[in-house]
Copies of this chain bind each other. A is one copy, B any other.
Amino acid sequence: MRIFACVLTLVAVASAQTKARDDSKKPLTLASQGSFFVGGESKTIAAAGRGPVGAPGEITINQMYVQFQIPMNGAQHVPVVMVHGCCLSSKTWETTPDGRMGWSEYFVRKDRSVYLADQSSRARSGFDPSTINAVKAGTIPPSQLPNVLAATHQTAWSVFRFGPKFGEPFPDGQFPIEAVDELYKQMIPDLNSTLPNPNPTWKNMAALAVKLNGAVLMGHSESGFFPEQAALVDPSGIRGLISIEMPCPELKAAEIATIAKIPTLVMFGDHLGDVQGGPATWNTSFESCNKFVQQVKDKGGDAEMMYLPKMGIKGNSHMLMQDRNSNQLADLILTWIDGHVEAKKKGR
């Protein structure tokens, strides 16, 4: 009887997997798509690089590139803004390293309008190169060059928790480790050290939420707490905060009170303490976010910590939107949005 039930379960799992695969191969109909920028300021520069093109003049900096797709039933749901982490771009949310559908299209197929933002100073958002050019021109010393962060394969393996040490994956790891070279190609230099303080991506995310007349903001890793930082700049457009795997900074009571007005979800994967060496201290980050969630709850807020192993979901890496069970995790988030953001919206 137990074997029979097991076989039935296996058949059901196989059938569900086939269905998921088939669904992902169905045509996708969009109401519209496109791209635009949020923010950006003019800056006068003295020298602009090579040859006669490099004459002095104005450049635009701190803008944030946004690419969007709106499904046919997009108006039935709150739009979702996704912002990538360190050394990555919006590629994070697209086709996974092993060629499966990423969260951006998956969410669109679940009738959500999706807005992918390249952080200000990264990828299609550009960056301010004037310090680099000033050092080359000899007007400031090399010590003033920005820290251009290039995370190595070795760093990724440890910080993204693919295994206990470089080259050795976790036996139950969900990351498609056979395709890790494709992830390495996504990893690009991080120029956030060229940005002013506060990070303009925060105000740009807040402005995007206002422009969309309400949006859920989602961040990951380096940008994990950006949704909350955006809410502290201007909460008026923000309908939900989703923070995936990052340290949670100490906030003041008034700041917690602002966050507490917005439904907040924090998600962490598995093996937080199982990586030897490397710069990340995931258990410490996890503890800081447990504290943050509790502080928001104590202020009467709707905050939830989804710690996947505690929910019986094992083996997830830091790149959980690319893990083999990425659709399952997306469904958890979609269900949370339905219950915590949209139920609230409908209930108004």
Q: Does A42 contact B (CB under 8 A)?
A: yes
Residues of A within 8 A of B (CB): 25, 27-37, 40, 42, 45, 48-60, 63, 65, 67, 72, 86, 89-91, 94-95, 99, 101-102, 105, 118, 123-127, 129-130, 132-133, 135-136, 138, 142-143, 145-155, 159, 181-182, 184-190, 193, 278-279
- Bound CA span A56–B151, Å: 9
Q: How many protomers of this protein does the assembly include?
A: 2
In the complex, are the beta carbons of B153 and A132 less than 8 A apart?
A: no
Partner of A91, one of B35, B147, B184: B35
A contacts with B: majority SS: mixed
- Bound CA span A238–B174, Å: 38
- Given that A129-B148, A147-B49, A150-B133 are known contacts, is A94 also in contact with B35, CB under 8 Å in the complex? yes
Partner of A136, one of B42, B52, B147: B147
Partner of A152, one of B59, B67, B72, B124: B59
- Bound CA span A246–B67, Å: 28
In the complex, are the beta carbons of B143 and A136 less than 8 A apart?
A: yes
- Bound CA span A53–B29, Å: 42
- Given that A147-B50, A149-B49 are known contacts, is A28 also in contact with B35, CB under 8 Å in the complex? no
- Bound CA span A294–B215, Å: 55
In the complex, are the beta carbons of B40 and A126 less than 8 A apart?
A: no
Partner of A129, one of B123, B154, B155, B189: B189
- Bound CA span A86–B86, Å: 25
In the complex, are the beta carbons of A148 and B124 less than 8 A apart?
A: no
Residue of B nearest to A279 (CB): B52
In the complex, are the beta carbons of A55 and B127 less than 8 A apart?
A: no
Partner of A148, one of B34, B132, B190: B132
